[in-house]
Amino acid sequence: MTDTTSTPRQGPLSHVRILDLGRIMAAPWTTQMFADLGADVIKIERPGAGDDTRSWGPPYLTASDGTKTRESGYYLSVNRGKRSVTVDIALPEGQAIVRQLALTADIVIENFKVGALAKYGLDAQSMRQLKPELIYCSVTGFGQDGPRCNQAAYDFAIQAMGGLMSITGERADMPGGGPQKVGVPIVDLMTGMYAAVAILAALARRAATGQGDTIDLAMLDVASAMLANQAMNFLVSGKPVKRTGNRHPNIQPQDVFACADGEFVLAVGNDGQFARLCAILGLPQLAEDERFATNKARVSNHDVLNPLLCSAFAGFSKAEITRKLESAGVPAAPINQVHEVFEDPQLRHRQLLRNLPHTLSGTVPQVVSPMQFRDAPLRFDRSPPLLGQHTVEVLDELGFDQQARDALKAKGVIDQ
């Protein structure tokens, strides 16, 4: 198999180096995006154990000989393109290595508990004293200050605390009703996205001023900011926001509807689309009915409109109704299972699913970045690394010879 480790990086951030002290999902999601964009991301992991998500399985990747590896699907989803270095940061020699790496980096990102890195001299204040132009991003559950700052947090708990679960799920009086979490760790992912935006803003400012920055990003802040229109629905009206299942609270008809052989999503967005929907259903009079002619009226009269639509959709198959609606410019879609998503001809055309070379399995599937650049194209040739795969390589770059590495290994600082 071709070794792509030393292949020159390309992409719009190929000039950037990131020291990744992140674990789990939020911070690693950020650094995977930067790796996709060409940055050299050096991921620091615990000797012998590594990132917590390495053990979050099954499923685990299957090796070429049919045995199961230690590479969990969870870990593989968020660590593409990085270099893994195992270093025990609890030991002074390990701390010294991390500080050396920070001096070569543009960005440090971490998601330890508040104050945890200060005892090692690896916190933002200590690191930026060494290198003032460094951009240091801390990701925590609740931020660096405030009454909850020392609490631990996971995505599930933050979805609950941040209000997201209160507006996700079917109404309490319906079958299966009650609060629901989103099917992916959405707060982790969005915190990673906000972190990426914040870091890019700091990079742009540094290019203009030469100054670094310290970024404090909290998952609870992100979850609350994500409430978007639902937050404003409450703030403007003063009325508590209620779960409405798949029904949109402000635009109608937008819901899941049953047809002859299953269910599909309808997402009418304006009065013109509603009129075209009515024509397809053979009910043009509904578009002229004052109860339904405007979106405001349709929202107010949803309980009258919905049974009429449900009755009409029952005479169509999923394929027929979605084809007719798509042809008429009315947004509608089948509800795909995960395996069906990657069979869609549009995603196949866009090459979102790719197989990258992997040391143990030959190849590993990856859902690659959706960002496409004409003049600085992204290249996906480095799979999620094995634990400590690049320890020797990175230490060699820092000037550690074999004798120095052996001494570090003897002290338990590294395990390679």
Residue matched to tokens 């194209």: 377
Residue matched to tokens 């319906």: 174
CB atoms within 10 A of CB 346: 7
Where does 136-227 have alpha helices with state H? 155-161, 186-209, 219-225
Residue matched to tokens 């990132």: 51
For the chain, the first-to-last Cα distance in angstroms comes to 22
- For residues 39 and 10, give the distance between their C-alpha atoms in angstroms, rounded to a whole number: 8
CB atoms within 10 A of CB 229: 13
Prior bond of 59 cis (ω within 30°) = yes
- The answer to whether 30 and 199 have CB atoms below 8 angstroms apart is yes
- The answer to whether 159 and 186 have CB atoms below 8 angstroms apart is yes
Residue 79, token pair as written in the block: 């660590």
Catalytic site positions: 188
Task: Give the three-class secondary structure for 44.
Answer: strand
